Amino acid sequence: MPDRQTAGGVAAAIEPRRLVSELKPFTKVHTGRSVWELAVTLAPFFGLVLAMLWAVSAGYLIALALVPVAGLLLLRTFIIQHDCGHGAFLNKRASNDTLGRALGVLTFTPYDCWRRSHTLHHASTGNLDARGFGDVDTLTVREFQSRGWLGRFFYRAYRHPVVMFGVGPAYLFLLRHRLPVGLMKEGAQYWVSALSTNLATAGILALLMAVFGIGTTLLVVIPTLLVAATTGVWLFYVQHQFEQAHWDRGENWSFHEAALNGSSYLDLPQPLQWFTGNIGIHHVHHLASRIPFYRLPGVLAAFPQLRSHNRLTVPQTFKPMMLALWDEDQRRLVSFREAARAAA
């Protein structure tokens, strides 16, 4: 594969197919480490939420200052659920699925529904002919320009940062993940997943409301969930929506090249990298999704060339929020303004 100019401005020659075979040793699950990561995530999360519930019920609203930390711990719980979906957290598929379903009750995310959608996302990342599964809706410039004014209006609204990172996360985790929409024809398991998760989550909420009161429970649970959801959506967005992201039509699309070049490396400082379960090392994750999240930093240490490949820092994530259309001629994401200027 020819040298590729990365988002960080450094050229890197990496052969994705060869790299996959070289990454196989990192896919080994360390069960003890997995159990430890689960414990150091759930124990402080439960403790923090219960402490906030008690404090708020006693009238200490200052306790809500802890919501961001609780939200990030819930996000980390979702990352563990995510690894379960890839069979990358425990050694056995059944064990991963059992844990993933249990964690889905906490994250408000029906596990089987999400896993199916996410599997399709991994299988079609960067494929212009297979969009619409578990990803951010992205139109090409020509597709956008061919729409009527109403279609363009709704797409502009959907891609607006206020909707994408404000309304969107709330809709996704409070409503969209409550229903197996789009999966109804795929089998009863998705209905069972959604309904059983809803019932279990409702049972936990009912218990908390009985003990601490409806208002107190909602005042703690909803903001915590929204912090996790908004941060999660932001992470997912910048992992695939950046200027030099890789897209191709089906006949030219390659899974390995799209996995590596269509995903970014979000270089987060600590403790954000810990809270986000290293998911910012997303180019490696897409290339080898069976690698447990706690082993991803080891990949960067073993393959230093990946540190500059599609690297983004936190300040560099603001520009991608303005990008909305794939320009097939320039082979990069552009803003609405850039597309309009080119068409003038």
**165-213 pLDDT tens trace:** 999 898 888 887 777 777 767 788 898 999 999 999 999 999 999 999 9
Enumerate residues 6+ apart whose C-beta is below 8 A from 71.
Answer: 223, 224, 225, 226, 227, 228, 231
Q: What angle do CA 127, 132, 136 make, to 5 degrees?
A: 90
Read off the pLDDT band of 89 (50, 70, 90): very high
Tokens of 192: 């069972």
Mean pLDDT of the chain: 92
**Max CA pair span of the chain:** 63
Return the percentage of the chain with pLDDT > 70, whole number.
96
Closest CA to 227 of 66, 27, 7, 13: 66
Helices (H), the chain: 16-22, 31-57, 67-85, 93-107, 111-124, 141-146, 149-159, 161-162, 168-174, 188-212, 214-240, 255-261, 272-275, 282-287, 296-302, 336-343
Q: For 127-156, what is the mean pLDDT?
A: 93
Q: Distance of CA 83 to CAs 132, 237, 253, Å?
A: 22, 19, 26
Domain boundaries, the chain: 28-141+161-315
pLDDT of 339 over the 90 cut: yes
Q: For 294-303, what is the mean pLDDT?
A: 98
- Rounded Cα–Cα distance for residues 55 and 52 (Å): 5
Q: For 283-309, what is the mean pLDDT?
A: 97
Closest CA to 246 of 318, 328, 305: 328
Enumerate residues 6+ apart whose C-beta is below 8 A from 10.
Answer: 308, 309, 311
Read off the pLDDT band of 132 (50, 70, 90): confident
Closest CA to 13 of 21, 30, 23, 1: 1
Identify the pLDDT of residue 13: 65
Closest CA to 311 of 248, 259, 263, 254: 263
> What pTM, to 2 d.p., does this model score?
0.93
DSSP bridge partners of 335: 323
Read off the DSSP letter of residue 325.
Answer: E
Identify the pLDDT of residue 176: 77
Identify the pLDDT of residue 12: 46
Q: For 20-46, what is the mean pLDDT?
A: 97
Rg (CA), the chain: 21
Tokens of 292: 């447990």
Which carries the bigger pLDDT value, residue 1 or residue 43? 43
pLDDT in tens, 283-295: 999 999 999 999 9
